[in-house]
Structure 1
Amino acid sequence: MEEAPMPLHEERVRKIDSQPSDRIDLAIVGVGTLGATVAQLALSTGLKVLMVVRPGDEKKILASEMLDEWLRREVFCGRMSSEAAVRARSLARITSSFEALHDCDVVLESVAEDLLYKRAILANIEASVRPDCLIASTTSSLPAAWIAAETAHPERVAVAHYVWPAHRIPLVEVAFSTQTAQAHKDRLHELLRRQGKMWVEVKDKPGFLTTRVLFGYWSETLELVREGVSPTDIDRAMEEFGWPMGPCRVMDGAGLETILRVQKCVAPFLGGRIDGLARIGTLVAAGHVGGRSRSGFYVHDADGTRPNDAVIELSNIRLSEAPTDIVDRLMGAMLNEAAHCIAEGIVASWEEASFAVDYAFRFPARRGGMLGYLRSVRPTEVVARLEFLCAKHGPRFRPSAAFAEAARTTTEVIS
């Protein structure tokens, strides 16, 4: 979908429910790339927010400066009035003490994508919160059941995978373990309603839906780079198709280090279909991690954005011209991974999958979203293309069994 600014919700910022002064609507433990945007979203919708950072005055100062800079930018761009910005800033507290979590209704864990680290953080959270507090993780790949496995009360643990940047993207992917209590499911839904979010509930399996679909698309991007296709040519082709930004530009923004950590979590469960994405490890090892280092697939500096020569290390070949099948390969990988997710019951239907992908990644509106695009190219034709790509490039393109069966038995894969 085309990008649109999120609503200002200024009226809600002004009309905060009268609450005891010590009550916190939402705590966020870990204010990195994603956690910072969740904090911005919560403050802009009138929630009282506690941000828990690592010990040290420097971390608190950085978090405070991040908030101030965001609010200045919101006012400058006309997305928030000066009055609303002052009010939003007054709703934020920054601490490095887990003890402050005692007054929180909901705690979001948003630390690095590492299962053991997340479990350690949850142990600290659980030791500090009230018995009725919901604990949710913003993980993009780790099932709630895994994260909650060593907690005393797994019934209050859930996944709320906000899509970065959380204050701009309207969708949240939600997952619950078999032990998550209904009361805590309801509390998470209420939080998302207060934030003006839409959500899709997915099966509690590694990678959920959106990460799997996105990483299939990104992994094939890296396969093209390995074959000598330049990031510039890939991005140009996909932007001409209708995406707001090409995949290499998006990966630079999301952070290659984070992407690599998530890839390592999910890849073992996907039969080799996202193994190509591991090649960004070469860039990460050389210090090219995307926005944070101002270099990834591209170099980002005062002179603008230009190709990063370090990407040459990912391939021994340089093509004189871009291949004509860039769109076929990237969209084929995306659609096939969505089909695998439907076949495995991650979501129930193409309608649900398309809803999630359209709102999470802004699937080109002029293509009718993912569902419209699939209908326009016809499932039988998609399967034929995948079979051709499978013969040429290997089993990662083998059509999902459910996808192929639907295409053989009906003219419409969409029920």
Structure 2
Amino acid sequence: MARYARAHGPVALITLTNPPVNALSAAVRTGIVESVSRALQDDRVRAVVICGENGTFCGGADIRQFSGPMSGPPLVPMIHSIEAGDKPVVAAIEGVALGGGLELALGCHYRIANPKARLGLPEVTLGLLPAAGGTQRLPRLIGITAALELITTGRHVSAQEALQLGLVDQISDGNTVQAAVKFALSVIDRPLNPRRLSLRTPACLPDAERVFDAALAQVKRRSRGAVAPVACVQAVRVAATLPYERGMARERELMGTLFTSGQARALQYAFFAQRNAGKWSLPNGARWNITKPGEVRRVGVIGLGTMGRGIVVSLVKAGISVVAIETKPKELEAGKIAVTAMLERDAGRRGVAPPLHLLTFTLSFSQLRGVDLVIEAVFEDMELKKRVFSDLCKVCTPDALICTNTSGLNVDELAAVTDRRPLVAGMHFFAPAHIMRLVEVVFGAQTSPESVATVMALGKRMGKVCVAVGNCPGFVGNRMLKHYINQACFLLEEGATPEQVDQALEEFGFALGIFKVNDLSGLDVGLRVRKAAGLIGPDIDPVNPPRWRKGERYCPLPDLLCQQGRFGQKTGRGWYLYDSPGAKEAKPDPEIRSFLEDYRRRYGITPRRLTSQEVIERCALSLANEGFRILADGVAAGPEDVDVIYLFGYGWPRHRGGPMFHAAQVGLAAVLEKLERYHRLHPDVPSLQPSPLLRKLVAAGSPPIQQWKSHIKKLSSNL
């Protein structure tokens, strides 16, 4: 798995061969050890070049091996032997040098990079740290400040940035391997000790303690409970203060703690769940993923509001021609200006010309005659969407797909007004659509596998993480979100404040608590959803609204808040107070405390003290409980799909894996016990009643999450 050859006279060429990314498997490590030893012992060889096959240097360790004992030569001694050798070793970096791949390159004496290469140490994103000398060598090469930033974020850098940082010695003009061989010939007689990073002392910082304290505070604030970034700072701190050998010992010790942590398991689960999100069959058993997708060259987008604009930008950035339609000249012009500005800003950041030639803005539906697919992104109103769908059938070719960007309306009801039910699907984008990566791809009762395959392939071209889901109110994400929001509001009724609930959720790992999110998105958005669901109407007393609707407990607090014109950031007042409309800093509002106290008195509620633990349990476990119901209903193919939706669409903390993984980590029996207890305390909240599937899984011995799908199939006839 490492091919050895004499490349050019006295230069030996060692080529890693483990497609697709030349991961450092046991066989590859064995090949490197044997090849390096052979080169060092061959008197005819005076320099060595290490490269990767098929234009890729090395993507790092094979994380599939993390779950079992590591076989083959250890990585650290292997890299040490390269660095300690008496012949110069040059890394020829093409494609990527990531994780252990970059650590291998750091053990080489020189590094030559292809202009398109990307380098980085992404271990922190898997709950780990670079444990093959990365935390010790990198600071000695590029300095403490730069090393801290790269290691604690896991960010990839371009070859150009790597050159500026001093991470590589040269960028090749043409063939990188040939350039590395030529470079190796030029350094044969140079002393190697200055190139051995383990012998270097990191550049001294006069205020090193302040730098590390600030870095630690920053990663704690940014990571919100994730332990790996903190460990990375600790490891780099040692590199700046202790000899290399002691730093390596500390790196190894910290890695040992992280390797077996629940957070590392969660992050690695999230990694594979994301990778596999587009590979499952549909929940209804249809195998869209073995169906060839149709070609999409030109797309129509109906509606240029906030969501439509983001969809247009995403399509154009993917190189897809777009016909963007509005019904009124004013809205069309506003949309055109906004889309153009977004594309120009993005192009400016990347130093390229904006692809405006791909755009057509029009008021006429007739321009859609040549499109392959249409995405409707008009206001969330069923009758309006039906009219649009009906009009589209009059102008689009018979084989054109029609997709709706709805957050929860019935896709089958929309398909029923068309002449092409198999060609209708949902594409639930998340705002802002040009930034948020998740798309729920909704299939209806008659949506064909080919249509799903085409929409999934389109989403992938747009750089989205697509998950195929069934058609039901709210689909997966919003169906679960309803219960999360309800629990948060019930906690306010019972004695909590918005700040207390949000603080608990943020300490759990959410970037924003639920009430800050509500203020950000606008409380009037939820009001419209509740009106559409028939929960608010003319027959309901707006002053003293009932707390039970449709047979279950209902919290009218958000409705009463909206009656006061408190819609969140847009009005400067919501659950929090803002200095001005549009301001982002949320401040506790004394009026909200009085508002909650008056509400409790009006309904005879005696407030009680609530703990952060109860806040987390009721909010997080209510999400998981509905997730079990979704799996039992066949709306999602597996727990991984549910978790990917929450990781990419709803800000679930990645180091906790997702709501379903979190339930598995807590323990299914413990989740069942907690839900039963909360349901006994709140029998008027049906969503707290444990789902039948959860009970079945506990009765089956609480199998690991990877086995839930087989149990769901076995138990489906009894659900």
- TM-score under structure 2 length normalisation: 0.50
Query: Measured at CA, do residues 285 and 24 of structure 1 come closer, stay the same or move farther in structure 2, by a change above 3 Å?
Result: farther
For 2:468, give the aligned amino acid. E
In the superposition, relative to structure 1, how do residues 99 and 275 fare at CA in structure 2: closer, same or farther (>3 Å)? farther
- Is 1:406 the counterpart of 2:679? The answer is no
Q: Distance in 1 between matches of 2:552 and 2:516?
A: 19
Given that residues 160 and 172 in structure 1 are in contact (C-alpha distance below 8 angstroms), is that contact kept between their aligned partners in structure 2?
yes
CA contact (8 A) 2:304 2:331 kept: no
Change (3 A) 1:217 1:73: farther
Q: CA deviation at 1:145?
A: 0.7
Unaligned runs of 5+ in 1: 6-22
Aligned to 1:391: 680
CA contact (8 A) 1:216 1:274 kept: no
Post-superposition offset of 1:333: 1.3
- Is the Cα contact below 8 Å between 1:260 and 1:281 reproduced in 2? yes
Q: Please give the alpha-carbon distance, in whole angstroms, between the structure 2 residues aligned to 1:72 and 1:314.
A: 46
Q: What is aligned with 2:586?
A: 305
**Is 2:304 aligned against 1:31?**
yes
Alignment counterpart, residue 668 of structure 2, candidates 375, 379, 399: 379
Shift of 1:293: 4.0
Query: After the TM superposition, which residues 183-332 of structure 1 pair with which residues of structure 2 at under 5 Å, given as runs?
Result: 183-264=450-531, 276=554, 279-300=557-578, 301=580, 302=583, 304-307=585-588, 311=592, 313=595, 316-317=599-600, 323-324=611-612, 325-332=614-621
Shift of 1:374: 1.8
* CA drift at 1:377: 0.7
1:65 aligns with 2:337: yes
State the partner residue of 1:360: 649
2-side partners of 1:244 and 1:385: how far apart? 25
- Aligned mates of 1:387, 1:413 — CA distance in 2: 21
Identity of aligned residues (%): 26
Q: Distance in 1 between matches of 2:305 and 2:334?
A: 11
Tell me the CA shift for residue 361 of structure 1: 2.2
Structure 1 Cα separation of the partners of residues 553 and 370 of structure 2:
43
* Contact map agreement 1:263 1:277 (CA 8 A) in 2: no
CA distances 1:20-51 after superposition (whole Å, capped 9, x unpaired): xxx97222212223222222222222222222
Secondary structure of 1:188's counterpart equals: helix
**For residues 61-110 of structure 1, what are the alpha-carbon distances to aligned partners after superposition, in whole Å with 9 as ceiling and x for unaligned?**
3213322443465467xxx32424x22x3433322322222232211111
C-alpha spacing 1:81/1:175, structure 2 compared with 1 (3 Å) = same
Deviation sequence 1:125-171 (CA, Å, 0-9, x none) = 22222222111001111232111122232222111111223223322
Question: Relative to 1, partners in 2 of residues 1:81 and 1:348: Cα closer, same or farther, differing over 3 Å?
Answer: closer
2:676 partner letter: E
The 1:108–1:267 alpha-carbon spacing in structure 2 relative to 1, beyond 3 Å, is same
Which shifted more, 113-122 or 235-244? 113-122
The one-letter amino acid paired with 2:509 is: G
Q: 1:286/1:39 Cα in 2 relative to 1: closer, same or farther (>3 Å)?
A: farther
Q: Kindly provide the amino acid, as one letter, of the partner of residue 359 in structure 1.
A: F
2:335 alignment partner AA = A
Check conservation: 1:173, 1:200, Cα contact below 8 A.
Answer: yes
| Structure 1 residue 275 displacement after superposition | 6.4
Give CA deviations for 1:274-307 in whole Å, capped at 9, x if unaligned. Answer: 9647643333444333454454333443584334
1:104 matches 2:368: no
Please give the secondary structure, in 1, of the residue aligned with 2:299: strand
Distance 1:407 1:107, change over 3 A: same
Amino acid at match of 1:45: A
Match of 2:586, SS state, is strand
Deviation of 1:308 after TM superposition, in Å, equals 5.4
**Alignment partners' CA distance in 1, 2:341 and 2:586:** 23
Preserved contact between residue 426 and residue 443 of structure 2 (Cα < 8 Å): yes
Q: In structure 2, what is the Cα distance between the partners aligned to 1:389 and 1:111? A: 40
Whole-Å separation in 2 of the counterparts to 1:267 and 1:104? 37
Distance 1:291 1:49 in 2: 33
Partners of 1:67 and 1:367 lie apart in 2 by 36
Letter in structure 1 aligned against 2:301: I
| SS of residue matched to 2:587 | strand
Which range moved further: 97-106 or 254-263? 254-263
Answer whether contact 1:177 1:204 (CA < 8 A) is retained: yes
Structure exhibiting the larger radius of gyration computed from Cα positions? 2
* Aligned mates of 1:278, 1:98 — CA distance in 2: 42
| Distance apart, 1:326 and its partner CA | 1.1
Q: Separation in 2 of the partners of 1:145 and 1:96? A: 27
Structure 1 residues 260, 296: CA separation in 2 closer, same or farther (over 3 Å shift)?
A: same
1:177-212 Cα offsets, whole Å, 9 max, x none, are 232234433332231122122322222222211111
SS at structure 2 position matched to 1:331:
helix
Distance (whole Å) between structure 2 residues aligned to residue 90 and residue 273 of structure 1: 55
Measured in 1, the distance between the counterparts of 2:499 and 2:442 equals 36
1:25 corresponds to which letter in structure 2? R
Work out the CA distance in 1 between the residues paired with 2:622 and 2:453.
35
Given candidates 350, 358, 362, the residue that maps to 1:81 is: 350
**1:37/1:146 Cα in 2 relative to 1: closer, same or farther (>3 Å)?**
same
Higher RCO (C-alpha under 8 Å, 6+ residues apart): 1
TM-score (norm 1): 0.82
- Which deviates further from its counterpart, 281-290 or 101-110? 281-290
Name 1:119's counterpart in structure 2.
386
Query: In structure 1, what is the equivalent of residue 359 of structure 2?
Result: 92
Q: Which residue of 1 aligns with 2:119?
A: none
Report the CA distance shift for 1:305/1:356 in structure 2 as closer, same or farther (over 3 A).
Answer: closer
CA distance in 2, matches of 1:145, 1:366: 37
Q: How many angstroms does 1:342 deviate by?
A: 1.2
Cα distance, 1:144–1:288 mapped onto 2, change above 3 Å: same
1:141-180 equivalences in 2 (<5 Å): 141-180=408-447
Partners of 1:220 and 1:233 in 2: CA distance: 14
Residues 203 and 347 in structure 1, CA contact (< 8 A), matched pair in contact too: yes
What letter corresponds to residue 649 of structure 2 in structure 1? A
Q: Which residue of 1 aligns with 2:320?
A: 47
Contact 2:460-2:466 at 8 Å conserved across structures: no
- Which amino acid counterpart does residue 402 of structure 1 have in structure 2? L
Change (3 A) 1:233 1:372: same
Give 3-state SS (helix, strand or coil) of 1:288's partner. Answer: coil
Q: Greater CA deviation, 310-319 or 59-68?
A: 310-319
Contact 1:4 1:168 in 2 (8 A): no
Q: 1:47 to 1:41 in 2, by over 3 A?
A: same
Q: 1: distance between equivalents of 2:419 and 2:681?
A: 51
SS in 2 for 1:214: helix
Alignment partner of 1:411: what SS?
coil
Residue identity in the other structure for 2:512: M
Amino acid at match of 1:258: V
